Amino acid sequence: MRPDGGNPQPVRLVRPAVAPLSAMAQLGRFVFFDPALSSSGALSCASCHSPRHAYGPPGDLPVMAGGRALTRQGARAVPSLMYLERQPNFSIGPDDAESEAVPAPLPPGGAATAAKQAQNAAQSAQSLVPQGGLFWDGRVNTLQSQALGPLLNPLEMDGGSVGRVAQRLRRAPYAARFAQLFGAQIFERPDGMLAEALFAVARYQIEDPSFHPYSSKYDAWLEGKARFSPAEARGYALFRDPRGANCAACHLERPDANGLPPLFTDHQFEALGVPRNTALASNRNQRYFDLGICGPARTDMTHAAPYCGMFLTPTLRNVATRHAFFHNGVYRTLQQVLDFYDFRDTRSQRVYAHRKFDDLPAVYRANVDTVDAPFDRKAGQAPPLTARQERDIIAFLRTLTDGYRPPK
């Protein structure tokens, strides 16, 4: 850190190329903003992935409401659609895209949990860690497949069947664009039509710069075009301190070797043991547990015991604009989130109503990370962060919000 808060080693960031939207992406924009695809006629993709809220949820409810009468509660907090253009496929352990062999089956034993400190992220990528994919549980790999989820989910857009959605697309004011791109015969293939419509949405997300502008104050700081305030500078140091908050162990903050801006996630899964959110109707059922990789939304790994309770680490870009944190939306403010990291082990009664890790069945509580700082402390020990340090980290997190204008 330079004394004036500037970056002593400015870098050049390689941002995604910007070009006029293709015809495909323009079609995707129409689909993205079309509420007529939902049973209520009121919800579009953009209702929950609001462009004015970093493509995350507007308002401060833990989860969004959907269904025909907009009375049904979604199962999980709405993730942002930003910065997914480099999201890797779901895998366990190191993946090898060039291999033409059939991918190895999941290991029977389970994960070897490597301690995750900033300096050994590479080593951890070599061990058997679940990583990548989309949704909180990584259950699909492409933006196209992701878009199908909310569209058909009865708790969300509730679009009904593939045939039904295709019928709505045929009647849409932008229907002629399908024929232009795919030929008139596309209207006879409901499956194909929906696949193309959702690919178009994905293409909109890939092409439109608003999904990945990399225009935060932090990006400007990396490039030597902005200076941290003293609080931001202290927060940045704490964020990176392997013995302190250790945020950067999972929320990677450095540009990669290709000059691509940091995504503030290692794309890996973690079991953090966040508290149960009693505001969710589904949680009134004492036997209901959201186990992330092990379901219920994900159905192909329900018996992968070592991974039960693990959720995908999200980007922290634009995190200060959110009002629903973690998969169950249990927290509304960054202060609450930082308190969770601070007190989960040292003052757990401040975090949990009755018992620690109350949102996991007893058999899976051992999957919770108790190794990596700041989760390596015992009950009664000093919390890793002071109140001022929490405020400093939050000041730093605010530098991750897009739309920063460098001073003239």
Partner 1 sequence: MSRFLAIFIALTFVVSASSGSPAAESTGNARTATPIKHLVILYGENVSFDHYFATYPKAANPPDEPVFHAAPGTPAVNGLVTSHLLRNNPNLSNTANGADAADPFRLDRTQANTADQNHAYTAEQQAYDGGKADLFPKYTGKGTTGGVGAFGSRGQVMGYYDGNTVTALWRYAQHFAMSDNAYTDVYGPSTPGALNVVAGQTNGMQAIATTKGPATLAAPSYFVNDGQGGLTMINDVDPAADVCSNKNDQVLMSGQNVGDLLNDAGVTWGGFMGGFDLSATNANGTTGCKRTTYSPIVASAVVDYIPHHNWFAYYSSTGNSTHARPASVSAIGHTLDADGTHDPANHEYDLNDFYAAVKAGNFPAVSYLKAPAYQDGHAGYSDPLDEQSAIVTLVNFLETRPEWKDTAIVLAWDDSDGWYDHAAAKATSPSFDAVDQLDGNAACGSGTALPGAGGKPVNGRCGPGTRVPFLVISPWAKTNAVSHTLISQASVVRFIEDNWLHGRRLGGGSFDASAGSIMAMFDFRSGGHAPVLVLDPRTGNPVAAR
Binding site for partner 1 (CB under 8 A): 16-17, 20, 22-25, 84-89, 97-98, 100-103, 134, 140-145, 180-183, 185, 189, 191-192, 195-196, 199, 202-203, 205-207, 256-260
Find out whether 12 and 259 touch, Cβ atoms under 8 Å. yes
Q: Which is nearer to partner 1, 37 or 195 (CB)?
A: 195
Q: Which is nearer to partner 1, 133 or 295 (CB)?
A: 133
At closest approach, how far in Å is the CB of 213 from partner 1? 15
Q: Which is nearer to partner 1, 22 or 229 (CB)?
A: 22
Q: Which is nearer to partner 1, 10 or 41 (CB)?
A: 10
Determine whether 392 is exposed, middle or buried from the number of CB atoms within 10 Å of its CB (0-12, 13-18, 19+): buried
Q: Which is nearer to partner 1, 66 or 133 (CB)?
A: 133
| Cis previous bond, 374, omega within 30 | yes
Amino acid sitting at position 386 = T
At closest approach, how far in Å is the CB of 215 from partner 1? 18
Residue with tokens 């389970």: 110
At closest approach, how far in Å is the CB of 377 from partner 1? 36
Q: Which is nearer to partner 1, 22 or 370 (CB)?
A: 22
Q: Which is nearer to partner 1, 182 or 214 (CB)?
A: 182
At closest approach, how far in Å is the CB of 136 from partner 1? 16
At closest approach, how far in Å is the CB of 290 from partner 1? 24
Q: List the Cα angle 153/139/162 in 5-degree steps.
A: 35
At closest approach, how far in Å is the CB of 99 from partner 1? 9
At closest approach, how far in Å is the CB of 24 from partner 1? 4
Amino acid sitting at position 144 = Q
At closest approach, how far in Å is the CB of 105 from partner 1? 14
Whole-angstrom distance, CA of residue 42 vs CA of residue 353: 37
Q: Which is nearer to partner 1, 105 or 183 (CB)?
A: 183
At closest approach, how far in Å is the CB of 89 from partner 1? 6
Which of 262, 280, 307 lies closest to 90 in space, CA to CA?
307
Whole-angstrom distance, CA of residue 251 vs CA of residue 336: 18
At closest approach, how far in Å is the CB of 111 from partner 1? 22
Q: Which is nearer to partner 1, 97 or 382 (CB)?
A: 97
Q: Which is nearer to partner 1, 257 or 362 (CB)?
A: 257
